[in-house]
Structure 1
Amino acid sequence: MHTNIKNLLLLFSLFSFSTAIYGAESKNPNSLLLACGSGNGGKDSDGRAWESDKKYLVKGEKSVETKAEIQDPSLSAVVPYMTGRIFTSETTYQLPVQNATSRTLLRLYFYPSSYPNFNISNSYFSVVAGGVTLVNNFSAFLTAEALSQAYFIKEYFLAPSEFSTLNVTFKPSDKQPQSFAFVNGIEVISAPELFSREPVIVGTGEVSENLGWDAATTTVSLDGISIENMYRLNVGGQYISPVNDSGGLTRSWYDDTPYLFGATTGVADKADVPIGYKGLPSYTAPLDVYSTFRNIGPYADINKGINMTWRFQVDANFMYLVRLHWCDDEMTKSNERVFDVYINNQTAATSVDLFAWQNSVASPTTRDYAIRVANKSGDAELWLTLRPNVKESPLYVDVLLNGLEIFKLSESNLAGPNPTISDMMRKYQEKQATAPKAFAQKSSTTTMALITGAAGGAAAFGVAAAIFLVAHKKKQKVPGDATSWLPISWNSSTTSGTKSSVSGKSQGSTTISSDAASNCRYFTLAEIKNGTKNFDDSNVIGVGGFGKVYKGVIDGDTKVAIKRSNPSSEQGVNEFQTEIEMLSRLRHRHLVSLIGFCEDNGEMILVYDYMGKGTLREHLYKGNKITLSWKQRLEICIGAAKGLHYLHTGAKYTIIHRDVKTTNILVDDKWVAKVSDFGLSKTGPNMNKGHVSTVVKGSFGYLDPEYFRRQQLTEKSDVYSFGVVLFEVLCARPALNPSLPKEQVSLADWALRCARNKTLEDIVDPELKGKITPECLKKFTETAEKCLSDHGVDRPSMGDVLWNLECALQLQENPDSSAIAASGGRGRDSGSSMDHQNAEEIDQNNLIAMHRNTLNLGNDDSNDSPDESTNDIFSQIANPKGL
């Protein structure tokens, strides 16, 4: 009956909710798609036609049509995101509604990017639709930052009205100076009646579902109530895209694993019999929802004492509707599987027997429950718990769930607060060890999954806190399924400090050593402002977790990159100080040089060498700057590997970068690669133990799974991250891509799966097809695979990675050299798949040539060649430190 499957890892749903929901071809003729700010509209990636929004604006009101200056690589389509309409005063759309007597499904699309003459961080506004406040003092910029998403969608089901026109009003906030409103896309659908049944209020006494729906003592009337979708999950199943949704509603359904709480994550399984609606309206949910499910498992003795729980973060002081989707394809008699349902530890339903309810096998059904989440100290949370009911002595001790939706309810105001990253960090620290006493799991690991779900309300923004805890589920992998990581950089912790003692110049909260201060230049704020034209947005060349990066000029004509922390934030103190302390002592051709810093007036500003070609990532994906040749990519990887090898072996103590990724590998005007961003780096004498115990930080998609499990950082953690970079370079796709099928979301997992199936060549960047020699490709992919070994001890050192990349370059330029192939198989820390039996055929000239570049451990002024003496070169080979 049950399939013994290990538990899925995590977090496909956080960021995928916004990437696909707009993309399905509409099957509903009553839909309206508006590309805001576009003159002619256009088609999205799934062929849906979007029209211009001009004719729906109320006449006489002013707005600005605009176009985003930057197309983020994560955008799966230009329409509707790359154009937008900006409102500097209150402005209304009048949108036709095909069926005013039914609910109107309204989706608002936001891409808070850089727009000409407008600072997106100043945008705070409200939206009122049909008299209902959807958002108030809302910042799409803060929302996207908290989600680590370039864009997102908000989805509402508005109450029916007698009007055939829906007024949607955008109004800039009066509370923020220079504020404006904006929107990129609007979708309107006349929806079928999804909410015809009044939900039962939980906590009003024992509710026996076997007695029928009317046995509930209290229900909530939904007449006149508007609804915001918060979460929409395909429990136990994979992501369902809008094109595969039912009823023409183009909804997205997401994996539930990020929200599972505690050690009991159950078993994901699929129905063995065909599933049909059997009287349930087809628009309720696609059949794929009812064809997959999650249960606890087949072991009755174990199941008696445990629950299965999902945990969500929501806005306080709202009523929520929790819709549970069920379809039992296994039980053929009553009292075979019976369980209870609790929401926030209050009884929602007892003795749930799905066969008894439906009196048939594989018959889908839903039940709706309502609960008010009050304002309490800490996070506002919603818990769903299923618990086997052993009192009924069922044949199987188990539970079942197929799908789950959570909706926020209000008659007039659905607006929630804006998220703040610092709040998320604080809440994580306060709550990471906290779990409800009732029905809590007997587990030493508290796993919190508070990730924003389907179509994403602004409520669920405990993202950063959740990511770290959910990540521990890396221990439980599903055979054949992808391991999903999140693209959120964990580098925003708030740290208090003391005033700097550097020449008495600082008003900040850092402590910079005099040694570090003497090794780099101190800039006044006036110099920085002069060099950036007072931080003019036209000079912004990047935005990161620390803040904006500006192109600047100092000393008349010297180009520099100036990284400025957000002046209104207290975050980044540790990163600022670490960057100065680290880079002031390091000089190497393949490390970005720190010129100086400024901490006047509470500012935290870092000044670097200007890297004219930008980040490696910018040159890998379609629509970006320049498509690199394979040789250029190899040379950049080799340069980055040299920089990392120097960090690991060339300084007094081992330095672990801890945030290796393609955005932290920069390229100068001569295409020389340099590793950047040392704000998360770790070093010290305690590394002589082989590791340093530390909280997990880094960027999801690149993080070392062993580091997650043990919280012990080693230089092999950088090697793992660099392995992801190598596959990113080869495949020209992001480390995480939520628009792909689940098994392909994580590049690391997908590449390893393709390697096992011997299909790696199928995922190579099409621009490189036929341009890589087979020998080079083999050497490169073998190296990348070894970097991604689950255990650090199985990974090569960065020196060995560097050796093999040099070998791959030689094999690209001289594919017939079997000698190079043999020499490239060396490995101090790991074995090599290369055949070593021909080692005696090594061409010493090639070996020497490679190591002249490989072991460059000098300062920034050195060239790539050590001493020309062969003996010197081989003495460096013999010394693992290269010193």
Structure 2
Amino acid sequence: MISNTRVLFSLILLSLSTIQVLSADSNSSNPYILSCGSSKGGTDSDGRKWSSDSQFISGNSTTAKAQYQDPSLPSEIPYMSARIFSSSCSFKFSVSPKQRHWLRLHFYPSSYNNLDKSNSYFDVTANGFTLLKNFSASITAQALTQAYIVKEFSLIPIESGNLNITFTPSSSHNNSYAFVNGIEVIPMPELFQTANLVGFNDKTIDVQSSTLQTMFRLNVGGQYVGPANDSAGLSRTWYDDSPYLFGAAFGVTSQAEKNVTIQYSKNVSDSFAPVDVYKTARSMGPDSKVNSNYNLTWVFQVDANFTYVVRFHFCELYLTKVNQRVFDIYVNNQTAQQDADVIIWAGKIGVPVYKDYAAYVKDQTGDDELWVALHPTVSMKPQYYDAILNGLEIFKINDTRGNLGGLNPVPSQMLQDAEAAAAGANDPTPRAAGSKNKGLVIGGVTGGAAGVVVAAAVCFFVYHRKKKSHESGAGAWLPLYGTSTTITSRKSGTNSGSTSHVSSLAAGLCRHFSLSEIKHGTKNFDESEVIGVGGFGKVYKGLIDGSTKVAIKRSNPSSEQGVNEFQTEIEMLSKLRHRHLVSLIGYCEEDGEMILVYDYMANGTLREHLYEHDKPPLSWKQRLEICIGAARGLHYLHTGARYTIIHRDVKTTNILLDENWVAKVSDFGLSKTGPNLQQTHVSTMVKGSFGYLDPEYFRRQQLTEKSDVYSFGVVLFEVLCARPALNATLPKEQVSLADWALHCRKRGTLHEIIDPRLKETLMNPECLKKFTETAEKCLSDHGLERPSMGDVLWNLEFALQLLGHPGEESVVTEVKANDAYAVQNAAVAIEEESSTAGVPVDGLTNSTVVFSQFMNQQGR
């Protein structure tokens, strides 16, 4: 009897809970978060709960599981299950008739029920609005080199209170089908009103009565903000803006001081953007002369023949008075706003404001871009010639037919070649678009004569840009990007006429040496000329053209290994030119040999000046300057090109020193192109050097630029302590330098393991504190807790200034202590000069400079 009572009681509870769930789903004030094709839903990696979609579907459909889980998927939920439609089918939701809603559609193009993902073309409509037209998730994912796609829309209030989302397979493709993995319907406040149409004095766009598609949402000057950290429960994603920056001078980033609190107003609530967006910013830098001659510019690929709303988020973090920072805003080379002064708009520091402007993008050249630029208003004679931006959103507005659907993107020819090569390699492991080793090549082509020479070799691949924005006077650099083509696998014993491992693009940008030239320059690979040995092979000191000293790295000719490293090194370094990156002169690929030729670094590696050699010890100031130089090189890799480049093998043997002790980062054989804006990481096999490996990367096989930051943190402690990253002869707890240094710092005994030779030199305690704090933050176990390489650079430069100069007070005291803006700008002005520009750059020892400046504004 008791047992039956318990059963009955359990059934009652189950019924009540079911009723509560159903009522919650039907309550229009609650969001719908559905894992499509799943029978019971689940929880994603952010802790968000997804429900089954079964009670909302109307029409014939089937469910399926993806046959392969791409490693770059953020979560199994909702992407590993899908709902498949072979004919038109709808989802029906009860929503508030007076409220806008975010609609997010999640797609993971994979193999479902043995269906060919390339056959999936379909339309998506919502209550009369066409959201997607002839959409191919497979083509889109391939073109964007990512595994999954999220499409976000802002739907106008629906008077009936019934939201119908219909998926219809395209009739123009045989065997076409539609699918969806996840659907979110999120109630949102009314965030849109009207926007001035740029180029017209009195014309506005009624955004409030339009359905919108989110094209870009950027945390300008800040880091990725995921759905779990968005405000007001809106679950938006905010991406880093740096990949969209255009031009050699990309400004400086800053963060609100601890005493600045973000204060929302009655006009701007946290529904517009979270605190994390408003407390970081990108500005132009401290040099008024430089700022007057360039625009801080972002460039975006969009669909032609649509109107776009560009929303600018502003929050002044340092200045407090009117006319201290005044600037003009340009959208698509037209003036959107003159004399913008955030303090006038906001009233005081720390108060967010936003401004909306609309622009129509017409299909004229086939190069469908939307440009956004900021420039100081010189005519107003502000105290600082500068501009600031905290966040940026771009929304597409439906056209007069209620359509938002654009064309599917076209994958680049090089990407298609790489896909074909990969398909012919008989690789048994299934791969999705987001996880392939595409080998993206990033670089910059400067203007003037250098650009003409390079263009002659690569004109087919150059990404043609529009004219520079209004009043831009700085020499711009053109991003050159795509995927390299692996022609064939290596075959030993091939002659000089055999198929090359180097793409025609890279081959056109660096010199090809004959094997006889290499042998002559190295005295036929004489052992007396060997200056180093690495995983790739031996490194020889040599001469080319009779007198030019070079370093020649030769692969072991009897080995089949090293092809990827050889190819990657050429593909990367042939496009990158920077004072703190080692320069690749050329290569030789003949008679089974793979040889690389570099500039000769007279002072060898950083490691040999720290320990295990008899060379004179480096002073503390020398060590600081070398670390700053290496940080600059890595910072350029992470942010200075169109896409992030992750080095993946940062260590003291890969930091070389020239005759003037200038540090140069070397060895790009393991480098990878970083994640794009739709991804947080790159999933890849773990490679690197033990002792320097990011533990998070090692555990999860998810690579980010923060993996380089961790490795650089080990380098910093190696520089301070003058001992290897791993030393198996020491007691167990001391084997790993990273672990031991953190342990000693926590106990307050770090001074005991500092290089004894440094104790004989003057070390400013504040300088040492800033240095060790920076190294410790780099070694945080979780990547999100580590600083960016730009922040690391900022701290190291600050540490150098704290060191001061013998017989003088620290130059930091030259800055007024109460001028936070001046201190911030002086501290974060980062020199990013080009090694090809031919313009001398002052060294760090110049005491007349508070911090390093943008000494060279030519293209890199």
Contact 1:295 1:401 in 2 (8 A): yes
Q: Which amino acid aligns with 1:339?
A: F
For residue 490 of structure 1, the aligned residue among 483, 486, 499 is 483
Alignment of 1:724-873 (within 5 A): 724-726=687-689, 745-754=705-714, 756=716
- TM-superposition CA deviations, 1:544-575 (whole Å, max 9, x none): xx9xxxxxxxxxxxxxxxxxxxxxxxxx9999
2:597 is the alignment partner of 1:690? yes
Q: Match of 1:33, SS?
A: strand
- TM-superposition CA deviations, 1:28-76 (whole Å, max 9, x none): 9621111101111111123222111111111xx2211111122222223
**1: distance between equivalents of 2:670 and 2:308?**
45
Residue matched to 1:436: 467
Contact 1:311 1:381 in 2 (8 A): yes
Q: Match of 2:309, SS?
A: strand
- Residue 289 (structure 1) shift: 1.5
Cα distance 1:122–1:271, how it changes in 2: closer, same or farther (>3 A)? Answer: same
Alignment of 1:440-519 (within 5 A): 441-448=472-479, 468=481, 490-491=483-484
- Residue 417 (structure 1) shift: 1.3
Q: Match of 1:306, SS?
A: coil
**2: distance between equivalents of 1:697 and 1:358?**
33
Contact 1:702 1:735 in 2 (8 A): no
2:557 is the alignment partner of 1:650? yes
**2: distance between equivalents of 1:95 and 1:227?**
19
Alignment of 1:16-95 (within 5 A): 30-58=30-58, 61-95=59-93
Residue matched to 1:109: 106
Q: Which amino acid aligns with 1:380?
A: D
Residue matched to 2:199: 203
2:319 is the alignment partner of 1:331? yes
Q: Which amino acid aligns with 1:284?
A: F
Residue matched to 1:165: 162
Contact 1:307 1:385 in 2 (8 A): yes
2:305 is the alignment partner of 1:317? yes
Contact 1:270 1:293 in 2 (8 A): yes
Contact 2:103 2:185 in 1 (8 A): yes
2:411 is the alignment partner of 1:421? yes
Cα distance 1:514–1:774, how it changes in 2: closer, same or farther (>3 A)? Answer: closer
Q: Match of 2:79, SS?
A: coil
- Residue 371 (structure 1) shift: 0.2
- TM-superposition CA deviations, 1:588-633 (whole Å, max 9, x none): xxxxxxxxxxxxxxxxxxxxxxxxxxxxxxxxxxxxxxxxxxxxxx
Cα distance 1:726–1:29, how it changes in 2: closer, same or farther (>3 A)? Answer: farther
The percentage of aligned residue pairs carrying the same residue is 38
**2: distance between equivalents of 1:446 and 1:267?**
18
2:216 is the alignment partner of 1:231? yes
Q: Which amino acid aligns with 1:229?
A: T
- TM-superposition CA deviations, 1:128-160 (whole Å, max 9, x none): 112211111211111112222111211000122
- Residue 730 (structure 1) shift: 6.0
2:155 is the alignment partner of 1:155? no
- Residue 101 (structure 1) shift: 1.8
Contact 2:243 2:644 in 1 (8 A): no
Residue matched to 1:717: 668
Q: Match of 1:169, SS?
A: strand
Residue matched to 2:178: 181
**2: distance between equivalents of 1:698 and 1:198?**
34
- Residue 773 (structure 1) shift: 6.6
**2: distance between equivalents of 1:429 and 1:436?**
19
Residue matched to 1:403: 391
**2: distance between equivalents of 1:394 and 1:729?**
47
Q: Which amino acid aligns with 2:256?
A: A
Cα distance 1:47–1:513, how it changes in 2: closer, same or farther (>3 A)? Answer: closer
Q: Match of 1:288, SS?
A: helix
- TM-superposition CA deviations, 1:665-708 (whole Å, max 9, x none): xxxxxxxxxxxxxxxx982389767159xxx999954578999x
**2: distance between equivalents of 1:646 and 1:301?**
43
- Residue 646 (structure 1) shift: 13
Q: Match of 1:747, SS?
A: helix
For residue 133 of structure 1, the aligned residue among 130, 148, 156 is 130
**1: distance between equivalents of 2:270 and 2:53?**
32
Contact 2:195 2:309 in 1 (8 A): yes
**1: distance between equivalents of 2:359 and 2:331?**
8
| Structure 1 unaligned regions, length at least 5 | 1-27, 206-216, 449-464, 469-488, 496-509, 521-545, 547-571, 576-638, 662-680, 708-712, 760-771, 783-883
Alignment of 1:341-356 (within 5 A): 341-356=329-344
Cα RMSD for the two superposed structures: 4.8
Q: Match of 1:268, SS?
A: strand
**2: distance between equivalents of 1:235 and 1:80?**
29
Q: Which amino acid aligns with 1:290?
A: Y
Q: Which amino acid aligns with 2:477?
A: T
Q: Which amino acid aligns with 2:297?
A: T
- Residue 446 (structure 1) shift: 1.3
Cα distance 1:271–1:82, how it changes in 2: closer, same or farther (>3 A)? Answer: same
Q: Match of 1:220, SS?
A: strand
- Residue 294 (structure 1) shift: 1.3
For residue 247 of structure 2, the aligned residue among 234, 241, 262 is 262
TM-score by length of 1: 0.53
**1: distance between equivalents of 2:299 and 2:343?**
27
- TM-superposition CA deviations, 1:483-514 (whole Å, max 9, x none): xxxxxx82359x9xxxxxxxxxxxxxx99999
Residue matched to 2:381: 393
Q: Match of 1:79, SS?
A: helix
**2: distance between equivalents of 1:698 and 1:106?**
29
TM-score by length of 2: 0.55
Q: Match of 1:204, SS?
A: coil
| Structure 2 unaligned regions, length at least 5 | 1-27, 417-457, 507-533, 540-551, 569-586, 600-640, 656-663, 673-684, 720-730, 742-860
Cα distance 1:514–1:404, how it changes in 2: closer, same or farther (>3 A)? Answer: closer
Cα distance 1:308–1:447, how it changes in 2: closer, same or farther (>3 A)? Answer: same
**2: distance between equivalents of 1:698 and 1:258?**
5
Contact 2:589 2:595 in 1 (8 A): no
Q: Which amino acid aligns with 2:152?
A: E
Contact 2:588 2:595 in 1 (8 A): no
- Residue 733 (structure 1) shift: 5.5
- Residue 311 (structure 1) shift: 0.9
Contact 2:588 2:596 in 1 (8 A): no
Q: Match of 2:290, SS?
A: helix
**2: distance between equivalents of 1:179 and 1:433?**
35
Cα distance 1:247–1:703, how it changes in 2: closer, same or farther (>3 A)? Answer: same
Q: Which amino acid aligns with 2:264?
A: Y
Q: Match of 2:351, SS?
A: coil
2:275 is the alignment partner of 1:275? no
Q: Which amino acid aligns with 1:189?
A: I
**1: distance between equivalents of 2:170 and 2:459?**
30
Contact 1:102 1:160 in 2 (8 A): yes
Q: Which amino acid aligns with 1:491?
A: S
Cα distance 1:331–1:719, how it changes in 2: closer, same or farther (>3 A)? Answer: closer
Contact 2:414 2:484 in 1 (8 A): no
**2: distance between equivalents of 1:689 and 1:735?**
29
Alignment of 1:298-313 (within 5 A): 298-313=286-301
**2: distance between equivalents of 1:398 and 1:363?**
19
Contact 1:658 1:698 in 2 (8 A): no
Number of aligned residues: 536
